Amino acid sequence: MVSNFISFIHKDRIVEIKNPDPNETLLNYIRVKLKKTGTKEGCAEGGCGACTVVLGELKNNEVNYKAINSCITLLPTLQGKQLILVEDLVSKDGVLHPVQEAMVSCHGSQCGFCTPGFVMALFSMFKNYSKFKDDVIKDSIAGNLCRCTGYKPIIKSAKALKNKNRYDHFRLNIKNTIKLLKKINNKSIRIYKNEKKYFAPRYIQELKKILKKNINADFLSGGTDLSLRITKERKDINSIIYMNSIRELNFIKSNNEYIEVGASTPLIEFEKYIKKYYSDFTKILKRYGSPQIRNVGTIAGNIATASPIGDCLPLLLSLDAKVVLQDLKKTKILYLDNFFMDYRKTKLKKGQFIYSIRIPLYNKNTFKAYKVSKRFDDDISSVCAAFNLKIVKNKILSARIAYGGMAATPLRAIFCEKILINSFVNDETVMKAKEALEKDFKPISDMRASRSYRIEIAKNLLEKCCVEIKEKKLIGLYV
Ligand SMILES: Cc1cc2nc3c(=O)[nH]c(=O)nc-3n(C[C@H](O)[C@H](O)[C@H](O)COP(=O)(O)OP(=O)(O)OC[C@H]3O[C@@H](n4cnc5c(N)ncnc54)[C@H](O)[C@@H]3O)c2cc1C
Ligand code: FES
Ligand code: FES
């Protein structure tokens, strides 16, 4: 079924909007059209969390709750989901939600501007976890800024939730919510409004038909990069194809040789899956934006931006990942090594889209990755480094090393690799390999880091990697 109106659930009812503006943000709809002003606008670029709302999505007959930044979410992407605002947390009889109650009793609010965003981030935690350990709390509010409380009372509120009854009015009403979500979940969307077009296909075949007639359309996945063209650059996007509505692109699978991640798989799901194969990948993803960003952002979106400071990219390069591309007729598989052409330029051609990413499995290698940024959470890298080494009897047999933040694209450290391969891990090798990095990279100075700082950090991360390998006696493991 194809429709020109979107349907979503709000306050236990199906809401329909005919021909919504494809460039309207969810935040604008909430504050201006719904006149619900609890949700705030701070930065309009996904960085402060003041606009956090929660979406409920049907998955395996259950509702999956996700905190998102409504300021960079385009309204039509609400199709098929449940919208939960801070105002909706209070029950019909006026009883505060346990999260709100905790924030009140622990004095988690002062001026109050950030409070609705924190409440929604904590509500998402409340719905997704059964135990609220320190790391879960810290991660859940990593995307929310507060300038008054010093965070302590907010963390105290989150900890206080331990003793609360996890049943809330959403849980009591869950059967009805699932029934309504099933009712609205079966349609593709095509909107033509004021010269703007928006398509949300449900299948790859349908996507290809749309592409045939709309070869210049922009692909929208999580929108954590693309939407900023509207909210920050104040530009229109005239033709959008929403990729996250295609379930065939949302998968993770593995065989003995590689892990394959579908283009539309949210980073938050990938970060859980990859942990048992490459725990440092998860470590980096935990510091990637915030849960709000990772709940919608995708690995395909990260790759397609070709940003020199895209966090997945050096890691994928060092693991020798491949990108699976499709167009109207063919499938093409490219090594990521050959995919980035120049600053924010890739080999993607018009009408071609990323179908998946394949990440090889190295059972006998050591994989390490590091991110250095000005702020620990919710900040883009100054430098990101990834090391994939095979070491036997203290000798490095293979090395793939890649850095972000050191060149116009994420890049391998080829000279450094050459020094390492067939060398023993010792101080002399490390020193020579560090020097080789100066041949590999001529970074620029910008607001994130100076050129000399980047070079120094790149060298230090290499040394850190080698020291950690020695300290953990990992070398012995591969004798
Ligand atoms: C607050 C904030 C914090 C951030 N923090 C980080 C961070 O820590 N590390 C980091 O690396 N990045 C970060 N980013 C950047 C952003 O999250 C990434 O670039 C993200 O991976 C983009 O993915 P997306 O799914 O949201 O892509 P979108 O924004 O939907 O799309 C990005 C680009 O990819 C194209 N595209 C999307 N899907 C496909 C496809 N299947 N095939 C072909 N092209 C496609 C789009 O057309 C667009 O050009 C942050 C962004 C914000 C707003
Ligand atoms: S307004 Fe700052 S994250 Fe949305
Ligand atoms: S209470 Fe004022 S910004 Fe958080």
Instruction: Report the candidate in 300, 355, 297, 296 with the shortest Cα–Cα distance to residue 57.
Output: 296
How far is the centre of ligand 2, averaged over its atoms, from the C-alpha of 44 (Å)? Answer: 5
CA 248 from centre of chain:
19
Find the ligand nearest to 224 CA. Answer: 1
Pocket flag, ligand 1, residue 220 (CB < 6 Å): yes
| CA–CA separation, 449 and 419 (whole Å) | 27
How far is the centre of ligand 3, averaged over its atoms, from the C-alpha of 432 (Å)? Answer: 50
Q: CA 306, 307, 311, 313: dihedral to nearest 10 degrees?
A: 30
Pocket flag, ligand 1, residue 281 (CB < 6 Å): no
What is the 3-state secondary structure of 408-464? Answer: CCCEECHHHHHHHCCCECCHHHHHHHHHHHHHHCCCCCCCCCCHHHHHHHHHHHHHH
Nearest ligand 3 atom to the CA of 111 is: 2
Residue with tokens 């390069």: 317
Provide the b/e sequence for 316-352 (b: ≥16 CB within 10 Å): bbbbbbbbbbbbeeeeeeeebeebbeeeeebebeebb
Pocket flag, ligand 1, residue 62 (CB < 6 Å): no
Find the ligand nearest to 144 CA. Answer: 2
3-state secondary structure of 91: coil
Nearest ligand 2 atom to the CA of 27 is: 4
Pocket flag, ligand 1, residue 223 (CB < 6 Å): yes
Residue 235 has a CB neighbour count (10 Å cut-off) of 11
Find the ligand nearest to 227 CA. Answer: 1
Would you give per-residue pLDDT tens digits along the chain (479 residues)?
A: 888 999 999 999 999 999 999 999 999 999 999 999 999 999 999 999 999 999 999 999 999 999 999 999 999 999 999 999 999 999 999 999 999 999 999 999 999 999 999 999 999 999 999 889 999 999 999 999 999 999 999 999 999 997 566 789 999 999 999 999 999 988 999 999 989 999 999 999 999 999 999 999 999 999 999 999 999 999 999 999 999 999 999 999 999 999 999 999 999 999 999 999 999 999 999 999 999 999 999 999 999 999 999 999 999 999 999 999 999 999 999 999 999 999 999 999 999 999 999 999 998 999 999 999 998 888 889 999 999 999 999 999 999 999 999 999 999 999 999 999 999 999 999 999 999 999 999 999 998 899 999 999 999 999 999 999 988 755 444 33
- Please name the amino acid found at residue 312: C
Crossing angle for the helix pair 98-105 and 115-128, to the nearest 10 degrees = 130
How far is the centre of ligand 3, averaged over its atoms, from the C-alpha of 11 (Å)? Answer: 27
| Residue 98 Ramachandran class (φ > 0 left, ψ -120 to 50 alpha, else beta) | alpha
Contact 62, 179 (CB under 8 A): no
